[in-house]
Amino acid sequence: MNKSYITLHFKTSGLKMTAQRSVIIDVLLRHSREHINLEQILAEARANNPAVSGATVFRNIVFLEKTRLISKMKLQDNKSYYQLQKAGTAEGHHDHLLCEKCGKIVEFYSEKLEKLQEKVASENGFEISRHRMELYGVCRTCRTKNK
Amino acid sequence: MNKSYITLHFKTSGLKMTAQRSVIIDVLLRHSREHINLEQILAEARANNPAVSGATVFRNIVFLEKTRLISKMKLQDNKSYYQLQKAGTAEGHHDHLLCEKCGKIVEFYSEKLEKLQEKVASENGFEISRHRMELYGVCRTCRTKNK
DNA sequence: TTGTAAATGAAAATGACTTTCATTTACAAA
DNA sequence: TTTGTAAATGAAAGTCATTTTCATTTACAA
């Protein structure tokens, strides 16, 4: 996932490339390995170009989410966090591990867990289409620090 | 979990029993097997006693949640849902299956899933303290209906 | 160049809570 | 019974994270 790919994505959707859009894409690319919220995206975009409004960030993020170029995750601080999808994993599902001390978010995927979820669901008469799983705890770094 | 238990819970916390409180408790008891949100609780409480305000419902629910008599769950519709804890399972953890057609919420608990989550977390250096897992799909009843 | 659909910023609106404040009220003590 | 008073309450205002409106701008195809 690089800038020209995303730019093309906008163009082929019949949308125009603007200075604001460009800056927002840059921010997302700089944080492609993390999850950031609207506030953070706006602050960083403005550092590069003060002519970016919250409404514009919001609208562009909504578009990218609807077209599946970014994924959204709502955490318990009641804010939504976004992250660019990885190149080949447009539909690459994963879950999250969250450190309660430092806020670090680690992605993981476990085939076994997925299968087991399906099994449990089916035992309860459900056919599942998606799920949300967040594991909260303390990461290794923070556990070491607190000694 | 019955009315006198909850009433005692308020009294032993140094709180008073009021008409509003009584009606709210009744609503929670009537729905002890379901999850309901503030709006639903208010509507039903008012049906019994129009002199109940949203603020009062909110404050009482917050108290019951803090003292662990009810559990809270935030769903993707951005609303919080509550349910009375079962008698012996004050700390009885469970997860949820949600039907996307009819909105039914089914609780489940799988020791295997819990263990597997811990294993995956530890493989990633995490020691987890809690988690959230929601499985979305279609229940048996709705699947049958759509044929 | 231009016409015009898109895009944008500022500000208002939304929605689900959450808090404030001026009054009531439950209930222990007299 | 009366009180005194800490609790409780309703109405309304405040929060907060979006989300939408509306009057202007702007990208870019023709």
Residues in chain A with CB shorter than 8 Å from the CB of B109 are: none
Confidence band for A57, pLDDT divided at 50, 70 and 90: very high
Alpha-carbon span A83 to A28, nearest angstrom: 7
Q: Which residues pair with A95 in a beta bridge?
A: A108
Q: Which residue would you say has higher pLDDT here, B146 or B68?
A: B68
Give tens-digit pLDDT for B29-40: 999 988 999 999
Decide: helix, strand or coil at residue B125. coil
Confidence band for B88, pLDDT divided at 50, 70 and 90: very low
Give tens-digit pLDDT for B103-115: 788 989 999 999 9
Closest residue in B to A106 (Cα) is B124
- Answer whether any strand D atom is within 7 A of the Cβ of A11: yes
Per-residue confidence (pLDDT) for residue A90, from 0 to 100: 44
- Out of A20-24, B66-70, B100-104, B118-122, pick the least confident: B100-104
Q: Residue A87: is its pLDDT beyond 70?
A: no
- In a mutagenesis test of the A interface, which of B73, B93, B94, B97 is the best target, namely the one with the most A β-carbons within 10 Å? B97
DSSP string, B11-76: HHTT----HHHHHHHHHHHHTTTS-EEHHHHHHHHHHH-S---HHHHHHHHHHHHHTTSEEEEE-T
Per-residue confidence (pLDDT) for residue A110, from 0 to 100: 94
Tokens of B103: 């909105």
Q: Residue B15: is its pLDDT beyond 80?
A: yes
- Answer whether any strand C atom is within 7 A of the Cβ of B18: yes
Give tens-digit pLDDT for A4-30: 999 999 999 999 999 999 999 999 999
Per-residue confidence (pLDDT) for residue B18, from 0 to 100: 97
Cα-Cα end-to-end distance for chain A: 40
Distance B24 CA to D27 C1' (A): 58
Closest residue in A to B107 (Cα) is A124
Q: Residue A88: is its pLDDT beyond 70?
A: no
CB B81 within 8 A of CB B134: no
Q: Do B132 and A129 touch (CB under 8 A)?
A: no
